[in-house]
């Protein structure tokens, strides 16, 4: 009896079928700078001709244990949006325009419908970000992953003018911090969230606790990460000279804001009365997670902060109003406290 690759757990025909399913999805995200399409050994992309001194910016990330919820619920249509968001948002804070994106999808046994749903979400995320899905890798790894479990990684490349790279060197006392709302957990802190909600509180995915305002536990855990490309595009269109931005990911509201600083002279002071904390965080807090732990783990309702000079407060708010931008704090002297703190503490 002749053994085949399929006997070893790798289905080449399924892989080819997936490529054909995703080809039109990728095509719909193309930018004029992209040369060629899906199917080559590598992707080619020109730099946009309007840049005088272009600098390439790259970012990579995954979606963590949020995947476990997607797998447990069979809901795979938005996890790809999360993957794009986690990479693109990191690129955006440098002042860059996202150019193209690649993904890595690894599984124990390739299920074409599941993979196609995931990659459709990636394509949706790329459309939201304005970048091209130029390719990726689908790896079927029997023995390394269990059954149809899968893992994801993403890779984004953007471009920025060298003299427009953020953060700028002139961050100063009194600079205004504008916050953009999150959709909830985004893709960070899910290990703690799952332990609290699914184990400590023993809530099923179909539960609708009061804190979630009618949404199910599954809805709250899987709410896709917001892609903030439109916010930065709005600032650019309005010619608002912002100084710095921080994507609020792992490390939460304590560890991410200070990443904008080049020295230890300044701190970010946030006013917690200025934004709404989504219900999923109130549910986790009610279960007994302490405030400090919440702040250093989750975004608590702020997915992105952007720093502008005081004179640009009104123009920035006008540009960011459609995406929910609001003043949430300011830059203050560092002192003896943490480099990111709440007002009044």
Domains of the chain, earliest start first: 6-164 (3.30.1330.10), 176-342 (3.90.650.10)
Tens digits of residue pLDDT in 166-219: 999 999 999 999 999 999 999 999 999 999 999 999 999 999 999 999 999 999
pLDDT, residue 337, reads 66
The helix (run of H) or strand (run of E) holding residue 72 is helix 66-73
β-strand pairing of 97-107 with 132-140: parallel
pLDDT, residue 3, reads 87
Tens digits of residue pLDDT in 122-159: 999 999 999 999 999 999 999 999 988 999 999 999 99
* pLDDT at residue 274 tops 80: yes
Rounded-to-integer distance, Cα 220 and Cα 206, Å: 11
How many CB atoms lie under 10 A from the CB of residue 39? 9
Cβ burial of 96 (10 Å; 0-12, 13-18, 19+) is: buried
Rounded-to-integer distance, Cα 306 and Cα 260, Å: 10
**Plot region of 324 (φ>0 → left; ψ -120 to 50 → alpha; else → beta):** left
Rounded-to-integer distance, Cα 19 and Cα 103, Å: 13
The helix (run of H) or strand (run of E) holding residue 34 is strand 34-35
Looking at 193-316, which runs of residues are DSSP E strands? Answer: 244-247, 266-270, 302-308
Residues 6+ apart with CB under 8 A from 324: 180, 181
Q: Place 1 in a pLDDT band, splitting at 50, 70 and 90.
A: low
């Amino acid at each position: 009896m002749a053994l085949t690759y399929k006997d070893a757990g790798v289905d080449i025909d399924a892989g080819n079928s997936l490529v054909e399913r995703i080809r039109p999805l990728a095509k719909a995200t193309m930018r004029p700078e992209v040369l060629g399409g899906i199917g080559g050994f590598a992707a080619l992309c020109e730099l946009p001709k309007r840049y005088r001194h272009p600098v390439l910016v790259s970012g990579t990330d995954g979606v963590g244990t949020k995947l476990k919820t997607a797998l447990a619920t069979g809901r795979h249509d938005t996890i790809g949006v999360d993957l794009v968001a986690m990479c693109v948002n990191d690129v955006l804070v440098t002042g860059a325009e996202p150019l193209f994106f690649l993904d890595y999808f690894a599984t124990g046994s390739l299920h074409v419908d599941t993979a196609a749903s995931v990659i459709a979400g990636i394509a949706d995320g790329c459309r939201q970000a304005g970048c091209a899905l130029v390719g990726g890798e689908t790896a079927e790894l029997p023995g390394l992953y269990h059954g149809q479990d899968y893992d994801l990684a993403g890779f984004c490349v953007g471009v920025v003018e060298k003299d427009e790279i953020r953060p700028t060197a002139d961050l100063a006392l009194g600079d205004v911090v504008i916050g953009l709302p999150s959709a909830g957990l985004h893709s960070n802190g899910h290990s703690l969230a799952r332990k609290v909600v699914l184990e400590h509180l023993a809530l099923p995915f179909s539960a609708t606790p009061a804190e979630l305002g009618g949404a199910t536990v599954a809805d709250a855990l899987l709410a896709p990460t917001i892609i903030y490309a439109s916010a930065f595009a709005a600032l650019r269109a309005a010619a608002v000279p912002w100084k710095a931005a921080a994507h609020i990911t792992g490390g939460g509201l304590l560890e991410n804001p200070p990443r904008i600083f080049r020295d230890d002279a300044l701190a970010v002071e946030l006013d917690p009365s200025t934004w709404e904390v989504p219900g999923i965080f109130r549910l986790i807090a009610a279960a007994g997670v302490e405030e400090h732990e919440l702040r250093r783990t989750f975004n608590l309702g702020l997915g992105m902060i952007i720093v502008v000079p005081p004179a640009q407060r009104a123009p920035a708010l006008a540009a960011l109003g459609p995406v929910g931008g609001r003043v949430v704090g300011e830059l203050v002297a560092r002192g003896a406290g943490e480099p990111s703190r709440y007002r009044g503490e």
